[in-house]
Every structure is written in structure tokens, then in C-alpha cells.
Amino acid sequence: MALRTVCAATLRTGTDLGVNNARTFVTTAFLCRRIPPMGPMPNEDVDVENLESLEKYRSYTRYLKQAEEARNKPAWWKTYRSYVEKADLEHGAERVDIGLPYYRPGRTKEVRERKQVMKDNKKNIELERASRLRTFKIPLDKVQETWEKSSGPFHIKRLADHYGVFRDLFPMACFLPQVSLRIGYGQDNSGQVHYGNRLTPTEAVSAPQISFDAEEGSLWTLLLTCPDEHLLDNEAEYIHWLVGNIPGGAVQAGEELCHYLPPFPARGTGFHRYIYVLFKQEGPINFQEDVRPSPCHSLVDRSFKTIEFYRKHQDNMTPAGLAFFQCQWDESVTDTFHTTLNMREPVFEFIRPPVYHPPQVKYPHRQPLRYLDRYRDGKEHTYGIY
């Protein structure tokens, strides 16, 4: 009986094995069938065996031009961008540039100036001696000034895109910040505002010192807003400072439309972005509708939307400068809510209470050996180190 069962199982296994092998062979043969593409493939006309016959670019400009033409050339296959745009219509859409026009200096002029500087440096004996003795010091002020005039605005714009500044303040729009803002908190300007650096609410408790390069007779508007800390509306902001009709670079001489309010990121909500936007005015603007009561300690009155403010005055002002920093909760925020805003502080995190231990007894009965560790003061133990 046992022998008959083993033989039947062997025959059945062999039959199943033959069916599986046949199925695998058919599947492999079907996959090996090559389906011709629906159109020409990239680099199909390139002769791999004779690469020397290809045309040389001979310059980066010619290569870049041909690369742009190849990228903009329509293809028959469906790209990743087309898949994403089908799911999200706003993805990849071209944004509107609402900033000042950018005039790039001539390349020939830049090369000529650079060659002249190199020529003068080679003739400078003191510079050669300092370089040879390794005592030459690079002036960082000149480096900063050169960066601000050359590639600085483009770097700032990339950082603003990375932190979502344009997405939250100016949907479907952007601008090139060509005016550099120098913002410092504290008496000694120790709390500098750059482009996404971290500051504490204690450091930013009072209005900062602000300066920027401006032509004589020009008018400006300075705005400080936070798109992350509104307690009721995710699409709204809280305005922290608004000064209009600033003559030249004198912020103190401008018309203060809303007085300064220190940052108050709620506890448990992480880092908030506080964004300075500088607008250049075409002339004097009547900000009567934008004036807040002074002092303005109501969050309802401080509800704000940058895009609506810009649309109202877009014919008379243009965004020109940008700087922002990040903040998270500290002890000064509690004082701001209680004293300045006169409201209870919202808390968005669970504060775990301390672990409860019953009163310590002198003779613990049936307690573990580590019973006394519950009642230690938490300081570093000194036993066993002598």
C-alpha cells in the first residue's frame, strides 16, 4: 500500500512538472518577442563604431544651445512631467516673474575687468610676498559685495523656492531679490537674519536694525509676515510688522502701518518661517486701508495675506528684496501670549507628567533590589570611584 502511494505521488509530480516547464517555455518565448518602438529612439542615428565622425561642439555655448533644442523638441513617448501634470495641473506650470527686470552685464566687459584685476595683482609686489609667505588675508566684505552683485540674487531665489516662500506668499509667481537686506537683532546686531537661519523668539523680541542700498528720493515698503503660525486658517498669515513710504533706506522715517510684534510660534508646532519682503514703490502710496490700530494686540486684526496686499498695490510697488529666518517655541513665547496678546497660550504637544512613586519606606518589604534607584536625586553617583 505504501509503495503504491509513493509511485502515484511520483507520477503526479512528474506530470505537474512537465506542465509547469511548458508554461515557463511559452512565457519566455512570449517575453522574448521584441515589439518595435512607436517612433525613433534617442541617439538612434549615432554610429557607435565610428564616433570620430560625430560633429564636435568646440564650445560650451554651442553645446548648451543644442541641448536646449533637444530638450524642447517634442517626443512621441510620455515623459515623467506629462504623467505628473496630468495628476496635478499646477505642477510644472510656468510662474509669473513679478520682480524688477534683471539686466545682466555684458560677458565681454566682465572678462575684460577680470583680466585687468589679474594683471594688477601680478604687478603688486606686496600681494605676491603675502601669498608666498602665506600671510595673505582675503577681505570677506569685498567677497560679500561681489557675491551680492553677481550670483547672490539667484542663490537667494533658489533658497526661497526650497523653503516654499514663493509658494505660500505669491502662488504661481516669483521674483529675483536684487536688493540685499541687512537685518540685525540686538544692540550689537548679533542676531543676523540671512536666508533660513535659526533665531530664538528671545533674540527677536524687539524690532531689528535694517539697512539696504537705495537711491536718493526712492520710496520703499517693508513687510514682516509669518505663513505658518495662524491658529485658525491654514491659508492666512499673521502680520508682524509693516512700514510704508520709507524714504531711501531710513526705515525709522517711514510710515508705520502696523507696529512690531515678536514671533510667537505655538508650542509643539516646530519651526516657523518669518519672512521680510521689501517692495520698491513707484511713488507715494495711500495706505489708509492697511493701517492697523496702535497698539494692535488682536490676532484678528493681524490676520493678513501677502498676495491680496500685493494685488491691491501691484500697480505702484514691486518686490525687490527678501530675507527670512526660522523660529521655534521658547519661554518668551508664553510671556508674549499672556502679556502682549492677553490670551491663553495654545499648546499642541503632550507634556508628560513626572513618573509617580509612592513615598519611600524605611524597610521595603518584597521590593526589587533597585528599589532605592527610584528615589535618587538624579545626580551622578560617586560611589565606587575611589
The verdict on 127 and 169 lying in the same domain is no
Q: Which of 305, 320, 340 is the last residue of a domain?
A: 340
Does residue 125 sit in the same domain as residue 250?
Answer: no
Q: Do residues 224 and 310 both lie within one domain?
A: yes
Q: Is residue 10 part of a domain?
A: no
The CATH number covering residue 178 comes to 3.90.280.10
pTM for this model (two decimals): 0.71
Nearest C-alpha neighbor of 317 from the set 96, 95, 97, 98: 98
Residues 188 and 298 in one domain: yes
Same domain, 116 and 214: no
235 and 124 within one domain: no
Whether residue 243 sits in one domain with residue 189: yes
CB neighbour class for 234 (10 Å; exposed up to 12, middle 13-18, buried from 19) = exposed
* 22-61: pLDDT as tens digits: 455 555 555 556 677 778 888 888 888 888 888 888 888 8
Please list, in sequence order, all residues whose beta carbon lies within 8 angstroms of the beta carbon of residue 65, skipping any fewer than 6 positions away.
none
Residue 80 lies in a domain: no
247 and 312 fall within a common domain: yes
> In terms of Cα–Cα distance, which of 34, 274, 94, 300 is closest to 169?
274
Query: Given the DSSP bridges, would you call strands 237-247 and 219-226 parallel, antiparallel or unpaired?
Result: antiparallel
What is the rounded distance in angstroms from the CA atom of residue 247 to the CA atom of residue 285? 12
Residue 346 lies in a domain: no
The cell for 251 is: 526705515
* Residues forming beta bridges with residue 106, ordered by sequence position: none
- Do 134 and 200 lie in one domain? The reply is no
Please list, in sequence order, all residues whose beta carbon lies within 8 angstroms of the beta carbon of residue 274, skipping any fewer than 6 positions away.
Answer: 204, 224, 225, 226, 240, 263, 324, 325, 326, 327
Q: Are residues 127 and 226 in the same domain?
A: no
User: What is the reported pLDDT for 76?
Assistant: 82
Q: 271 lies in a domain?
A: yes
Burial class (CB in 10 A: 0-12, 13-18, 19+), 237: buried
Q: What is the pLDDT of residue 11?
A: 45
Residue 247 in domain: yes
Tell me if 101 is assigned to some domain: no
Residue 175 covered by a domain: yes
Q: 125 with 263, same domain?
A: no
Q: Note the pLDDT of residue 46.
A: 84
Please name the amino acid found at residue 104.
Answer: R
The count of residues in the chain is 386
Side-chain-facing half-sphere of 172: CA atoms under 13 Å: 5
- Total domains, the chain: 2
In terms of domains, do 119 and 185 share one? no
pLDDT of residue 2: 45
Query: Which domain range does residue 188 map to?
Result: 151-340
* Phi and psi torsions of 193, nearest 5°: -100, 120
Query: Which segments of the chain have a pLDDT < 50?
Result: 1-17, 19, 22, 386
257 within domain boundaries: yes
The torsion angles phi and psi of 258, rounded to 5 degrees, stand at -150, 120
Residue 59: the pLDDT is 87
Three-class DSSP labels, the chain: CHHHHHHHHHHHHHHHHHHHHHHHHHHHHHHHCCCCCCCCCCCCCCCHHHHHHCCCCCCHHHHHHHHHHHHHCCCCCCCHHHHHHHHCCCCCCCCEECCCCCCCCCHHHHHHHHHHHHHHHHHCHHHHHHHHCCCCCCCHHHHHHHHHHCCHHHHHHHHHHHCCHHHHHCCCEECCCCECCEEEECCCCCEEECEEEECCCCCCCCCCEEECCCCCCCEEEEEEEECCCCCCCCCCEEEEEEEEEEECCCHHHCEEEECCCCCCCCECCCCEEEEEEEEEECCCCCCHHHCCCCCCCCCCCCEECHHHHHHHHCCCEEEEEEEEEEECCCHHHHHHHHHHCCCCCCECCCCCCCCCCCCCCCCCCCCCHHHHHHHCCCCCCCCCCC
